[in-house]
Chain A
Amino acid sequence: MDKHDFVIRFAGEGGQGLVTSADALARAAAHAGYFVQTHSTFPSQIMGGPASSQVRISTTPVLSAGDGVDVLVALNQYAYDHHHDDLNPGGVTVYNAEEFDLPEGGNYFGVAADELAKSTGNARAANMVTIGAVAHLIKFKLEEIDGFITQRFTRGRAGDDEIIEANIKAVRLGVDVATTSGFSVGQLQPPNPPDYKQIVITGNAALAMGATAAGLDFYAGYPISPATTVLIWMENNLWGEKRFVHQVASEIEAINAILGAGFAGKKAMTATAGPGFSLMSEGLGLAWMAEIPLVVANVQRGGPATGLPTKSEQSDLYTCLHPAHGDIKMPVLAPGTIEECFYAAALAQNWAERYQGPVILVTEFGLAERGENIRRPDLSKVSQESRATVSEGDTGKRYDSWDGSTPLPGMPIPGGPGAYVANGSEHDEIGDTTHLPHHHVRLMERRFKKLDLLGGAHYEIENADADVIIMPWGSSKGPAREAYNRLREQGEAIGWLYSVALHPLPEEVLSVLKSGKKIIVPELNYLGQWSALLRMEGFDAESITQYTGLPFRPVDLVVSIRDRIGAGVTA
């Protein structure tokens, strides 16, 4: 049976090379011209513990982790027990015959991958044996895997040829076992490779790359899952003239360091996750009050407290919008795909410069570490905005009143004219503390008015005349879109609304919301945070929530959206 789409999951223990296997298969498939998306789930520990890593291979761009699994590779009994229920009809399990056995007669077969790998002379090729078995099950062209292996291990070293040969041999041994088993899960349709250049990249790398493309030149961070790889990327790449990168002693240091750097004229950023974001509250309040450009990326994990450090959740929306005490509403950009991570990170830098203040970029575990082949971003489309500054002789003061009818006055930079005090206390025009009512009034209004300058983020509006409109945010966009497509194909008259900018919302998105339609928000939290915020604005919104630490499955959303339609307006 021809299929355009397969999900292959490797399940076992952390440290068994699950991510490596899924990644290798993903790269081989991408190499062959397919679209791929990986997804991993593992406990928060260095080694061991139940973990899994999967890849979805498709002839069209992959929107989500999918519904179920077509091929399960189970490396131990626990993995088999906990994952085989996820198999799609017709799905097959390849199990580690060196670790456990299953009774005769099921839709599975064992592979002694280590033993077979040793016979090739390269004990490290065990995952290639498994990949060979998987490739046979989905009728994946072996030449493509050979080509991928050759490319991967051609490193200009003496033993390259032998390693390549052993790995190719390992693949064939896996194929042989699968052939003998007689199983197949169908035939993967030929790829439909795009005519544009692609990169294979994770969400965190795309985010780091996007910020850098927009001119980021100062990064301070502290390790925390799942944001750590942004810090690592920066420590490896943010070098060069007038750039600075440093691992500081805490998230409190990180926010205050980028605040000092933003004051000194730098385009500064940090990335963190929930607990670190909580520690940054006070610094974010100061950045808002003193109007210092900076970007904080919050790569969400499950919360509260330590929560679920290596799981996906969208439960930090409230805190991203209102991280600090006082009258504050932060600009928030929430990319929903890997590609959007790149462009939103760039836009966040530009927003910070444009309105002279802090910007929150909120992503998720589900985006952070998943790999995907996407169109290579076009750097010529990335603008590098720089804040307005002041020149000798300018008569304006740093904190003059501003009503939006003129360009935002420039920000003095230390070393240049216009000395002032960046003050967290309410202040006068030059930043001296004052508690006089009229200053609090005029600067409160200035700080909020500046938000009007923020636009240009990606949004999507489709079939907005429908009575029910699906409006996901962040990474729930992918599964929601898949569910939306299926429901539309099934004749459901539903609309689609999506915005990377959650605050301020683009006018076009607002006008759809204001049209009074029923808005359904699939989101990964308990409170239904985005729909609650929409209701606060007077819109008719309700959530479909999930708080398992896992992303939505499109099939589940199809069911729950149909339930809501049935119970709601179109009934």
Chain B
Amino acid sequence: MSKRNPEYDFAWCPGCGDFGVRRALQVALEGYSTEHEEPQANNVVVAGIGCSGNMVHLVEGEQPFGIHGIHGRTLPISFGVKQGNPELNTVVVAGDGDFLSIGGEHLGPAANRNIDITAVVMDNGVYGLTKGQSSPTTEYGKVTVSTPLGKIENPVSPLKYYMAIGVTFIASYYSSKPRVLAKLIQEAMNHRGFSIVHVQSPCTTYNDTYDILKGKPKEGIKGLAYDIPEDHDPTSEQSANDLLSRPGIPLGVIFKKEGKTLQDRYEELQARAPRRTNDELLDSYLLQR
């Protein structure tokens, strides 16, 4: 329940990973605003549809601007926000279904543009809000309500996919340590270009993966998640690809690359673009007699 609005009638299930992501996002937004001495009003959170999409209403304290738009369209909407006003810190929040299934077509163009936005993707391997259907990251063979005989498709490998299409900042984490996740998100916001923080955010109702991610250390069971070794060089494409070829889910910054953003390139074009007043434009059609 939102503190700012008790009437708001959406709630996540107890234990939902999105609580941790929300906490992290909130800390990151505040941290970013403080760091850059900007008001919270300069932050815009663009949400998709699904459990994750409701995050935009649940951020507490001083409010950012938000859009809770259409399933799958966070990237084109945030493109318009960012290019409409490049001063705005524009953050996408979306689930794995929203970002990688229905919205998958927008990832390539966003990477090609290296648009200066940050996407926080909450991956729970399931469609939660519609009650438990298979999602793009659901593993092969898994039985869900929409795959009663087991999922027939292979799952997408989001991190490898982001690498392949040229996303310039890629981090992976889980929802359990919001303070660390907040630092990663803030680092992603500071990255100039398209940054994605892909977060394992378990669905306690339909796909509870906490134990799989973290293991059971007391019982000597290792989890899938592992801290990225300190000697990993995230500026090296080779190192990033090597890391992603290992089994498990790395925690930390996998890849980062400095480069021109869409806005940088746009300003280069602006400098040599024609500038004509409306009168001059009209007069270019003038009939001479």
Give residues in A with beta carbon < 8 Å to B: 30-33, 151, 193, 197-201, 205, 209, 212-213, 218, 220, 236-237, 239-240, 244, 246, 248-250, 252-254, 256-266, 268, 282-283, 286, 290, 373, 376-377, 379, 412, 414-417, 419-425, 428, 430-436
B256 within 8 A of A: no
Contact B76 A431 (CB under 8 A): no
B266 within 8 A of A: yes
Question: Contact string, B101-133, partner A, CB cutoff 8 A, digits 1/0?
Answer: 000011011000000000000000000000000
Q: Measured between alpha carbons, how far is A115 from B209 in the docked complex, in Å?
A: 81
Of the listed stretches B5-13, B147-155, B166-174, B231-239, name the one at the interface; the rest are far from the partner chain. B5-13
Q: Measured between alpha carbons, how far is A199 from B284 in the docked complex, in Å?
A: 8
| Min CB–CB distance B210 → chain A (angstroms) | 27
Contact B289 A33 (CB under 8 A): yes
Of the candidates A259, A268, A416, which one forms a contact with B69 in the assembled complex, judged by CB atoms under 8 Å apart? Answer: A259
B40 within 8 A of A: yes
Q: Measured between alpha carbons, how far is A432 from B2 in the docked complex, in Å?
A: 9
Contact A268 B84 (CB under 8 A): yes
Contact A261 B84 (CB under 8 A): yes
List B contacts of A286 (CB < 8 A). Answer: 69-70
**Given that A263-B67, A414-B41, A422-B67 are contacting pairs, would A432 and B5 also be in contact in the complex, using a CB cutoff of 8 Å?**
yes
Contact B41 A257 (CB under 8 A): no
Contact A432 B8 (CB under 8 A): yes
Q: Can you give 19 contacting A-B residue pairs, CB < 8 Å? A: A212-B281, A218-B83, A246-B83, A253-B109, A257-B77, A260-B79, A261-B80, A263-B81, A265-B85, A283-B70, A376-B282, A377-B282, A414-B44, A422-B67, A424-B69, A432-B5, A432-B57, A433-B54, A433-B57
Give 17 A-B pairs besides A240-B270, A248-B109 with Cβ atoms closer than 8 angstroms.
A151-B288, A244-B84, A259-B69, A262-B84, A264-B44, A264-B85, A268-B84, A286-B70, A376-B286, A416-B41, A420-B65, A422-B69, A423-B68, A424-B70, A432-B5, A433-B9, A433-B68
Contact B41 A256 (CB under 8 A): no
Contact B80 A198 (CB under 8 A): no
| Min CB–CB distance A141 → chain B (angstroms) | 13
B73 within 8 A of A: yes
Chain B, residue nearest A423 (CB): B68
Question: Contact string, B245-269, partner A, CB cutoff 8 A, digits 1/0?
Answer: 0000000000000000000001001
B35 within 8 A of A: no
Q: Which 9 A-B pairs have the closest CB atoms?
A: A260-B80, A264-B84, A261-B84, A239-B273, A256-B76, A199-B285, A421-B66, A257-B80, A261-B80
List A contacts of B77 (CB < 8 A). Answer: 256-257, 259-260, 263
Question: Contact string, B1-43, partner A, CB cutoff 8 A, digits 1/0?
Answer: 0101101111000000000000000000000000000011110
| Min CB–CB distance B46 → chain A (angstroms) | 7
B219 within 8 A of A: no
Chain B, residue nearest A242 (CB): B85
**Given that A200-B287, A264-B80 are contacting pairs, would A414 and B70 also be in contact in the complex, using a CB cutoff of 8 Å?**
no
List A contacts of B79 (CB < 8 A). Answer: 248, 253, 256-257, 260
Contact A420 B66 (CB under 8 A): yes
Contact B274 A239 (CB under 8 A): yes
Of the candidates A198, A236, A244, which one forms a contact with B83 in the assembled complex, judged by CB atoms under 8 Å apart? Answer: A244
Most interface-central of B41, B68, B270 (chain A CB within 10 A): B68
Q: Measured between alpha carbons, how far is A436 from B66 in the docked complex, in Å?
A: 21
Contact B278 A218 (CB under 8 A): no
Q: Measured between alpha carbons, how far is A424 from B56 in the docked complex, in Å?
A: 12
List B contacts of A373 (CB < 8 A). Answer: 287
Q: Measured between alpha carbons, how far is A199 from B63 in the docked complex, in Å?
A: 51
Which size bracket describes the interface of B in this complex? Answer: 35 or more
Q: Measured between alpha carbons, how far is A213 from B9 in the docked complex, in Å?
A: 44
**Given that A286-B69, A424-B69 are contacting pairs, would A205 and B109 also be in contact in the complex, using a CB cutoff of 8 Å?**
no
Contact A283 B73 (CB under 8 A): yes
Chain B, residue nearest A283 (CB): B70
B163 within 8 A of A: no
| Min CB–CB distance B158 → chain A (angstroms) | 20
Contact A268 B80 (CB under 8 A): yes
List A contacts of B273 (CB < 8 A). Answer: 239-240
Of the candidates B40, B81, B282, B285, which one forms a contact with A260 in the assembled complex, judged by CB atoms under 8 Å apart? Answer: B81
| Min CB–CB distance A533 → chain B (angstroms) | 28
Contact A236 B274 (CB under 8 A): yes
List A contacts of B80 (CB < 8 A). Answer: 218, 220, 256-264, 266, 268
Chain B, residue nearest A246 (CB): B83
Q: Measured between alpha carbons, how far is A52 from B286 in the docked complex, in Å?
A: 26
List B contacts of A201 (CB < 8 A). Answer: 285
List A contacts of B230 (CB < 8 A). Answer: none
List A contacts of B287 (CB < 8 A). Answer: 30-31, 197-200, 373
Of the candidates B5, B73, B81, B269, which one forms a contact with A414 in the assembled complex, judged by CB atoms under 8 Å apart? Answer: B81
Q: Measured between alpha carbons, how far is A178 from B211 in the docked complex, in Å?
A: 92
B218 within 8 A of A: no
Contact B63 A419 (CB under 8 A): yes
Contact A379 B282 (CB under 8 A): yes
List B contacts of A432 (CB < 8 A). Answer: 2, 4-5, 7-8, 57
List A contacts of B281 (CB < 8 A). Answer: 209, 212, 237
| Min CB–CB distance B156 → chain A (angstroms) | 19
Chain B, residue nearest A206 (CB): B285
**Given that A239-B274, A244-B266, A431-B68 are contacting pairs, would A199 and B282 also be in contact in the complex, using a CB cutoff of 8 Å?**
yes
**Given that A248-B76, A261-B81, A261-B84 are contacting pairs, would A433 and B10 also be in contact in the complex, using a CB cutoff of 8 Å?**
yes
Chain B, residue nearest A377 (CB): B282
Chain B, residue nearest A421 (CB): B66
B242 within 8 A of A: no
Of the candidates B10, B275, B282, B286, which one forms a contact with A239 in the assembled complex, judged by CB atoms under 8 Å apart? Answer: B275
Contact A264 B73 (CB under 8 A): no
Chain A, residue nearest B110 (CB): A249
| Min CB–CB distance A399 → chain B (angstroms) | 12
List A contacts of B78 (CB < 8 A). Answer: 260
List A contacts of B2 (CB < 8 A). Answer: 432
List A contacts of B87 (CB < 8 A). Answer: 415
Q: Measured between alpha carbons, how far is A482 from B57 in the docked complex, in Å?
A: 58
B224 within 8 A of A: no
**Given that A265-B85, A422-B68 are contacting pairs, would A436 and B286 also be in contact in the complex, using a CB cutoff of 8 Å?**
no
List B contacts of A434 (CB < 8 A). Answer: 7-9
List B contacts of A249 (CB < 8 A). Answer: 105-106, 108-109
List B contacts of A197 (CB < 8 A). Answer: 286-287
| Min CB–CB distance B80 → chain A (angstroms) | 2
Contact A290 B282 (CB under 8 A): no
Of the candidates B65, B73, B105, B289, which one forms a contact with A419 in the assembled complex, judged by CB atoms under 8 Å apart? Answer: B65
List B contacts of A424 (CB < 8 A). Answer: 49, 68-70
List A contacts of B278 (CB < 8 A). Answer: 209, 212-213, 379
